[in-house]
Amino acid sequence: MIDAIQLLYVIGILGSAILAGWQLAPYITRVYSRAPGRLDRVLNPVENRVYRLLGVDSQGGMGWKEYFFAALAVNIVQMVIGFLILTNQDILPLNPQHFSGLSWDLALNTAISIATNTNLQHYSGEYALSYFSQMTAIQFLQFTSAATGICVAVAFVRGLTSGTKDMGNFYVDFVRTITRILIPLCLVASVVLVWLGIPQTVSGYVNAGTVEGLVNGASQVIRIGPVASLVSIMQLGTNGGGYYGANSANPFQNPNPATDIFEIFLMLLLPTTLCFVYGEVLGKKRETRPILFGAYILFAIDLVIAFIPNTALGPGIETRFGGFFSAFWTVVTTAVTTGSVNSSLGGEHPLAILAAFMGMLIQSTPGGKGVGLMYMVMYVVITVFIVGLMSGRTPEYLGMKINSRDVKLVMVAFLIHPLIILVPTILAYASGAVAAIGVPTTTSGFTEVFYEFTSAAANNGSDFLGAQANSVFFNVATAVVMFLGRYAPIGVLMALSGSMMGRKRSTEVGLRTDSMIFTLVLVASILIVVVLTFFPFLALGPIASYFQGA
């Protein structure tokens, strides 16, 4: 297990994220309630001009269907733009390395991956993408995908509180998220990252002389670029797609322990903040407790699993940061569905990989910003229904009776992921696609393929295969999984919130969902439901690998 110093690191980082989230939540709540703020004088004219350009009525409201389809349409348009940039980067500016355009299947996979907040990378950015592609098709879409996740979550919560059919206006929420939350936070984070040693430049790659070059004239190519700005949004927005193929294992993207700790903090910040925003928007801050406490209890369980083996803490798997920070990062990046890595997943202990699977399969520990909150409320509804069946009482949440339609919707939302993870995994083997890219037929090989589709479905993006999976089958299959994994659950959960809008609320005190007892029942329910669903595949993958290596 971890020693006292390592425990202090865990407590310090998590405590800082929770404290910062608590302080940031009131500001974010004011952004979405359109309360007057200090930035209005500067940003209101800019935002109003954007609304006029788009032909948007900024005062109009939307029902759940209109809100969801507006978000979907905007995201699809962005995917098309990203696809065109990636396939035509050879004729676009800011390409000093003269990279050619990506193939159609890789461009399709990449555009959907970034736009869905997944950032699965079947390419190595420093060897394949121009500066223009990195700053537009990648970095810009990381802003918009992060904004979409936050917007739909806020609209979802509004639906739980609204006495009308108005969820707000997606376009207004979207613009305000970018201008008032993401850009300011990323500006501060980028400055800090540059100060800590991460490069930020649009100059071409540098040819540097080496010690060996003094004898034979050899040189080394230093692949730098606008790295700090991309890292800030990839971590804050729980995107995960790095400037480099090695992601934050690359010393230019994560050069020292200070950047490692700061990037972990950035990953945790917004998902944790939105747990507090939930209570703020509801007007019932006590309802934050099961969401926040439940998420971090599950997170702690994942940490314990990852830290059980001594090999996960030893110096062997990561010489720069050590096994502790490698395992800690892996748990964090999958718990908040970021997907960035600071070491090779292939060097992690099987139990650390099992903990990573748990984070991606649960998706609310605390999950990606916005969508993780929606999943946790989904689990709350499932738990309320189960408790109601066991106690013989009518299930209620927030004073509303949970009806059969609500239960059907949450079960559909939950079952989407088993289908889009397990079926493609089987098809990958049955079609010969796994053998075609050279993945071995072993438990570790199965873990890699299962992880690929789990990561895609959970919009996480961390994976074992990387550029090895750059084949038509894996590019197209994971693109479909990423698209469905992102928008199908959001659509179903928006429908759930929409069905609760205007519903009669009881003033009588029913089941208390803000108590610690309910939180523990919620955690148990989540573990039972998820483990029972995925246990056979986990048993064939990381669990079998653990026992084979024991």
Q: Which residue has the tokens 């910040």?
A: 269
Mean pLDDT of 249-271: 95
336 in helix, strand or coil?
A: coil
* Confidence grade of residue 316 (pLDDT, cut at 50, 70, 90): very low
**What mean pLDDT is reported for the chain?**
91
Mean pLDDT of 63-67: 95
Give residue limits of the domains in the chain: 4-209+218-549
CA 4 to each of CA 8, 273, 535: distance values in angstroms, whole numbers, following the listed order: 6, 27, 33
Q: What is the pLDDT of residue 221?
A: 76
CA angle 482, 488, 494 (to 5 degrees): 135
Q: What is the pLDDT of residue 322?
A: 78
Question: Model confidence over 392-424: pLDDT tens digits?
Answer: 778 889 888 898 999 999 999 999 999 999 999
Q: What is the pLDDT of residue 512?
A: 83
**Phi and psi angles of residue 221, each rounded to the nearest 5 degrees, phi first:** -85, 120
pLDDT cut 90: percent of the chain above it: 71
516 in helix, strand or coil?
A: helix
pTM of the entire predicted model: 0.93
CA angle 216, 221, 224 (to 5 degrees): 160
Question: Model confidence over 176-232: pLDDT tens digits?
Answer: 999 999 999 999 999 999 999 999 987 777 777 766 655 666 677 778 888 999 999
Question: Model confidence over 520-538: pLDDT tens digits?
Answer: 999 999 999 998 999 999 9
